Structure 1
């Protein structure tokens, strides 16, 4: 067994076994999820550029994604849970929800501006009017993810979704309007 440690054994027909442990698999999974997440971020950026006809607006919309880590990492520590592959999947899923909320917020700002509001009024109005739907979405995610919170396999996913949504909903409510204001102020 020692001679095959961390290398692929010589081909013995059609079957082979690799003896290098769970960490190697974990590293490969995180690498693959990271690559997939990067590809999705690029795709989201391209789609949002197409929708809003701006190269700056998608950056404003995607800015709250890192804010989820403000909730995710401390929550894993508080729960005594490792950041696993399912945690990463929860982080990615939460990022999708936050991007959707940000798109709705920016779209509402632009709608109010098209109706004749000033930039300042539109930003404040969007933050106030769209907060309740954003909060309800986060609450729904927390309740649904709470069902799997104590499952040993899916606990990381639940922690990432719950803590990420709470943190980013509260932070993105302020961050997106402020960033949009700064990016559009002339």
Structure 2
């Protein structure tokens, strides 16, 4: 489950680069870039919690399906299909809630970290975490 935390950086780092490459505000004639500040780091920590929760929900559903006798690969594909909507709805509502915070000069870093990180890591969580689980489960079966 902790494999999901690095997935947050995949969205945050390019997101802040993109913000500063494409557009900056001018304040008093000077450009005002959006920096990755302490509030951005707080957003990254919050994002880690959201992504871990998504991973737990997905892996728990896979394990419940396996406990009912479903083969591993089928359990992974079914769980991805069943849990896709709740995970995406959580991500979308968080993105929409963070959007107004982007206007705040102090907490905009937090909001942008949540927005970019959640957009990327949610999609990667739906793909990478089940793949890692499949690889780990296959190795456990070989060891047995």
Q: 2:10 aligns with which of 57, 70, 74?
A: 70
Gaps of 5+ in 2: 21-33
TM-score (norm 1): 0.66
Task: Measure the CA separation in 2 of the matches of 1:174 and 1:96.
Answer: 18
Residue 164 of structure 1 pairs with residue 117 of structure 2: yes
C-alpha displacement at 1:144, in angstroms? 0.3
C-alpha RMSD of matched pairs (Å): 0.8
Number of aligned residue pairs: 126
Gaps of 5+ in 1: 1-60
Structure with the bigger percentage of helix = 2
| 1:29-81, Cα deviation, whole Å (9 max, x unpaired) | xxxxxxxxxxxxxxxxxxxxxxxxxxxxxxxx111111111111111122222
More contact order relative to length (CA 8 Å, sep ≥ 6): 2
Task: Measure the CA separation in 2 of the matches of 1:106 and 1:98.
Answer: 12
Q: 2:126 aligns with which of 173, 177, 180?
A: 173
Task: Measure the CA separation in 2 of the matches of 1:134 and 1:168.
Answer: 11
C-alpha displacement at 1:178, in angstroms? 0.6
Task: Measure the CA separation in 2 of the matches of 1:71 and 1:62.
Answer: 17
C-alpha displacement at 1:116, in angstroms? 0.8
Q: 2:55 aligns with which of 84, 92, 102?
A: 102
Structure with the bigger percentage of strand = 2
TM-score (norm 2): 0.85
C-alpha displacement at 1:170, in angstroms? 0.4
Which residue is equivalent to 1:141?
94
2:65 match: secondary structure: helix
Task: Measure the CA separation in 2 of the matches of 1:182 and 1:126.
Answer: 16
Task: Measure the CA separation in 1 of the matches of 2:81 and 2:39.
Answer: 34
C-alpha displacement at 1:92, in angstroms? 0.3
Q: 1:120 aligns with which of 53, 60, 73?
A: 73
